[in-house]
Amino acid sequence: MSKTVLDATGLRCPLPVLRARKAMKSVEAGAVLEVIATDPGAVADFQAFCQTTGDELLSWDEAEGRFTFQIRKAG
């Protein structure tokens, strides 16, 4: 499967989620969107985003203030 990467570093809530929502429109069903963010609030935001959209939050991790999210598009 293909993977698309969205760099949302330096953006504050709710911009990382809004950019991810827009990016997901061009992602094929079953493909993965990787989002890189620096806002600590993005963890809760992406959990809520996936519950709302039905997309799957495969994983997230944090290293040196950078959060990386792996989201599989529903469908």
CA distance 30 to 49: 17
- Catalytic residue, from 7, 9, 12, 13: name it: 13
> Catalytic annotation on 50?
no
Burial class (CB in 10 A: 0-12, 13-18, 19+), 41: middle
Q: Which residues are tagged catalytic?
A: 13
